[in-house]
């Protein structure tokens, strides 16, 4: 009975403290966070359907257009099709326009900003929460993948919702435990790097809790057996159950993960690891910032990350007396730094795996670390002020955090929108524009027109079908190549006009092959250029003249 009373009292105290904390959230914090959320929504929904779906997004759309959820899951987009399973139902609910489909990522990106803010506030302070969430709101990598119809952003959001619940000290309800297991299992099955982030998060959380339990002097009054029972009935025991549930899934999926990560077809396009992986990743965070050696944000933030252990030491020495393993840095170092370390090591020793978008799953850890570190700097500076009015010092510190966030976001937004020109760059291959041109310029009677494409015709057909177009593209093209049989057939059939479509990274395809194959029967009469795309128009010639 004594042990059970101790457990219930401990849990009750934690619950009471957390309830009070929820009721006492600073109104200024709520106002600031609301502004950040609105700004995040603007940046993610702005121009959401302006650019065309590019090849990977159209591959996603193709996978979910099979008519059934089973057909959607059979695509190769994710480990076992869990990402396409969710997007299949999203399409049924919201429709199949570019804006509607991409909105799942935009909404997830906004939710992720909220989760990062609350995660940082709960486990550190409100200054760090405002700083980390504001920096994430203007993150290039976060905005980019909040505007693509792929599973990266909602998977990242699911992972960090689960991490947030797991890191809380109060015991979770059965419903919350179920949510953690479901979201982590779902995310684990979407991508093997998401699985890596989950495993590192679970290992990190478990290790921190075990170390804290070993160092707990109050618990040593009980026997080892009672301490074990107490541990298993506590929040730490709940987290252990979550670890065990996901571990069972990992065992069954290990062979599939190994196959996907070592498959040559999957990794042949991946480049070598950059010389400075973390700085290169931070370049993606801050929109390839190249404003000079001194003011280069990516470079500066990498040095700042290296200083975070020093900031932790100084903050503990002069400001706080909190237990060392209650500090949030341990968890985010394991998740963010651990993911980078494993991927770089794997790429150097086994097979290239360094792809910027694969770090989206661990991206929040870096922004939380930025927020905590900058918050500690503010505390160390204001800690030297007279302590006759602690409330004024706290207010002043929070104001400094707001001002830092405001000027950082203002400067980054100006550069991002006006100099980097993210919303005007048009970087995605323009399958949409090419499909609209076909629909506008090809007459209903297509007997004298033969359309051939690189790569597969399905990428243009996904747009043509949605606009109820009459245009038909030959569907016998292989990936990246024009079949010899196709050339023979079109020469034998002799259509008056041959249209050659090329999309997605023009340098990948043999642009001169069709010109050489059709000569001397056809003549190139026009070429139309699109974003990462091209349309060549050939007319049949006879007796040295155009028929």
Per-residue pLDDT reduced to its tens digit, 449-497: 989 888 888 899 999 999 999 999 988 776 767 777 777 777 777 888 8
Read off the pLDDT of residues 227-240 as tens digits, 9 standing for 90 and up: 666 666 677 777 77
Distance CA 149, CA 165 (A): 27
Contact criterion met (CB below 8 Å) for 201 and 193 = no
Q: Which residues, 6 or more positions from 62, have their beta carbon under 8 angstroms from its beta carbon?
A: 75, 458, 459, 462
Q: How many CB atoms lie within 10 A of CB 10?
A: 17
Q: How many CB atoms lie within 10 A of CB 12?
A: 12
Distance CA 78, CA 73 (A): 8
pLDDT score recorded for residue 387? 56
pLDDT score recorded for residue 170? 84
Give burial (CB, 10 Å; 0-12/13-18/19+) of 296.
middle
Both tokens assigned to 28 = 């200024």
Per DSSP, the three-state class of 517 is: helix
Per DSSP, the three-state class of 539 is: strand
Tokens 């790097």 belong to which residue? 193
Lowest mean pLDDT among 52-61, 142-151, 392-401: 392-401
Where is pLDDT greater, at 362 or 18? 362
Report the C-alpha dihedral over residues 267, 272, 276, 282, rounded to 10 degrees: -40
Strongest mean pLDDT among 243-257, 289-303, 358-372, 424-438: 358-372
Average pLDDT along the chain: 84
Kind of pairing, strands 545-546 and 497-503?
unpaired
Per DSSP, the three-state class of 152 is: helix
Above 60 in pLDDT, residue 16? Answer: no
Which of 267, 244, 437, 478 is CA-nearest to residue 352? 267
Instruction: Compute the average pLDDT of residues 90-119.
Output: 95
Quick one: three-class SS letters along 402-439?
A: HHHHHHHHHHHHHHHHHHCCHHHCCCCCCHHHHHHHHH
pLDDT score recorded for residue 225? 65
Chain centroid offset of residue 513 CA = 38
Strongest mean pLDDT among 196-200, 249-253, 304-308: 304-308
Distance CA 287, CA 415 (A): 9
Chain centroid offset of residue 30 CA = 26
Lowest mean pLDDT among 69-78, 88-97, 149-158: 69-78
pLDDT score recorded for residue 519? 76
Distance CA 14, CA 437 (A): 63
pLDDT score recorded for residue 344? 94
Above 90 in pLDDT, residue 154? Answer: yes
Above 50 in pLDDT, residue 13? Answer: no
Q: pLDDT over 70 for what percent of the chain?
A: 83
Above 60 in pLDDT, residue 341? Answer: yes
Lowest mean pLDDT among 86-90, 410-414, 504-508: 504-508
Write the DSSP assignment of 58-101 as a string of letters.
HHHHHHTTSSSHHHHHTSSSSSSSHHHHHHHHHHHHH-SSHHHH
Distance CA 196, CA 200 (A): 6
Report the C-alpha dihedral over residues 372, 373, 375, 380, rounded to 10 degrees: 140
Tokens 């107490």 belong to which residue? 230
Tokens 């105290």 belong to which residue? 13
Tokens 């990402």 belong to which residue? 83
Instruction: Compute the average pLDDT of residues 174-199.
Output: 89
Domain ranges of the chain: 24-424, 431-546
Both tokens assigned to 271 = 């480049």
Read off the pLDDT of residues 503-545 as tens digits, 9 standing for 90 and up: 887 766 665 667 777 777 888 899 999 988 899 999 988 644 4
Kind of pairing, strands 449-454 and 497-503?
parallel
Residue 179 β-bridge partners? none
pLDDT band at 384 (very low <50, low <70, confident <90, very high): low
Above 70 in pLDDT, residue 294? Answer: no
Q: Which long-range contacts (CB under 8 A, 24 or more apart) does 172-179 make?
A: 172/235, 172/238, 177/238, 177/241, 177/242
Quick one: three-class SS letters along 343-358?
A: HHHHHHHCCCCCCHHH
Above 90 in pLDDT, residue 340? Answer: yes
Above 50 in pLDDT, residue 136? Answer: yes
Contact criterion met (CB below 8 Å) for 458 and 475 = yes
Q: CA quadruple 109, 114, 116, 117: dihedral positive or negative?
A: positive
- Cα dist. 513→483, 487, 493, 509 in Å? 10, 10, 19, 9
Read off the pLDDT of residues 248-293 as tens digits, 9 standing for 90 and up: 777 777 777 677 666 666 667 788 899 899 999 999 998 876 666 5
- Cα dist. 471→184, 281, 436, 516 in Å? 44, 42, 10, 26
Length of the chain: 547
- Cα dist. 374→127, 135, 340, 403 in Å? 9, 11, 22, 12
Architecture of domain 431-546 in CATH?
Answer: 3-Layer(aba) Sandwich (3.40)
This prediction has a pTM of 0.88
Q: Quick one: which H or E segment has residue 541?
A: strand 533-542
pLDDT score recorded for residue 130? 96
Above 60 in pLDDT, residue 14? Answer: no
**53: DSSP letter:** P
């Amino acid at each position: 009975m004594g042990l059970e009373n101790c457990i219930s009292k401990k849990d009750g105290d934690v619950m009471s403290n957390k309830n009070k904390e929820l009721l006492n959230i600073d109104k200024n914090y709520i106002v600031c966070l609301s502004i950040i959320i609105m700004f995040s929504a603007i940046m993610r929904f702005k121009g959401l359907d302006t650019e065309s779906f590019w090849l990977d997004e159209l591959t996603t759309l193709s996978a979910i257009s099979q008519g059934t959820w089973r057909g959607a899951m059979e695509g190769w987009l994710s480990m076992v099709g869990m990402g396409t399973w969710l997007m299949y139902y999203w399409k049924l609910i919201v429709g199949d326009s570019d804006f509607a489909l991409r909105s799942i990522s935009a909404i997830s990106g906004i939710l992720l900003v909220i989760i990062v803010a609350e995660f940082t506030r709960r486990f550190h302070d409100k200054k760090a929460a405002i700083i980390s969430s504001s920096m994430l709101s203007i993150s290039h990598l976060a905005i980019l993948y909040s505007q693509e119809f792929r599973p990266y952003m909602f998977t990242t959001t699911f992972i960090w919702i689960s991490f947030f619940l797991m890191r809380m000290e109060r015991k979770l309800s059965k419903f919350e435990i179920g949510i953690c297991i479901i979201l982590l299992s779902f995310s684990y099955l979407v991508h093997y790097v998401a699985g890596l982030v989950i495993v590192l998060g679970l290992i990190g959380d478990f290790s921190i809790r075990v170390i804290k339990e070993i160092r707990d002097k109050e618990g040593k009054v009980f026997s080892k057996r009672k301490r074990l029972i107490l541990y298993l009935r506590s929040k730490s025991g709940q987290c252990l159950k979550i670890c065990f549930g996901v571990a069972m899934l990992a065992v069954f999926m290990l062979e599939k993960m190994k196959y996907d990560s070592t498959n040559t077809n999957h990794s042949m396009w991946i480049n070598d690891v950059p010389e400075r992986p973390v700085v290169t990743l931070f370049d993606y965070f801050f929109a390839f910032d190249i404003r000079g050696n001194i003011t280069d944000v990516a470079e500066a933030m990498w040095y700042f990350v290296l200083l975070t252990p020093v900031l932790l030491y100084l903050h503990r020495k002069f400001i706080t007396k909190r237990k060392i393993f209650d500090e949030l840095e341990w968890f985010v170092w394991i998740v963010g730094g651990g993911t980078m370390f494993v991927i770089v090591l794997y790429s150097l020793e086994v097979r290239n795996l360094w792809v910027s978008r694969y770090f989206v799953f661990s991206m929040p850890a870096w922004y939380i670390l930025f927020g905590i570190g900058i918050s500690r700097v503010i505390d160390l500076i204001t800690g030297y002020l007279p302590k006759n009015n602690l409330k004024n010092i706290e207010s002043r510190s929070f104001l400094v955090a707001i001002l830092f966030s405001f000027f950082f976001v203002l400067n980054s937004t100006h550069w991002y929108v006006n100099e980097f020109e993210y919303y005007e760059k048009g970087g995605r291959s323009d399958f949409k524009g090419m499909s609209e041109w076909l629909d506008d310029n090809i007459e209903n009677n297509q007997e004298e027109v033969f359309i051939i494409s690189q790569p597969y015709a399905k990428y243009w057909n996904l747009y043509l079908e949605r606009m109820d177009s009459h245009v038909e593209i030959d569907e016998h093209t292989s990936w990246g190549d024009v079949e010899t049989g196709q050339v023979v057939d079109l020469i034998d059939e002799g259509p008056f006009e041959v249209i050659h479509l090329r999309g997605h990274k023009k340098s990948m395809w043999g642009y001169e092959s069709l010109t050489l194959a059709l000569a001397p029967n056809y003549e190139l009469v026009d070429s139309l250029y699109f974003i990462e795309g091209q349309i060549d128009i050939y007319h049949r010639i006879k007796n040295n003249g155009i028929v």
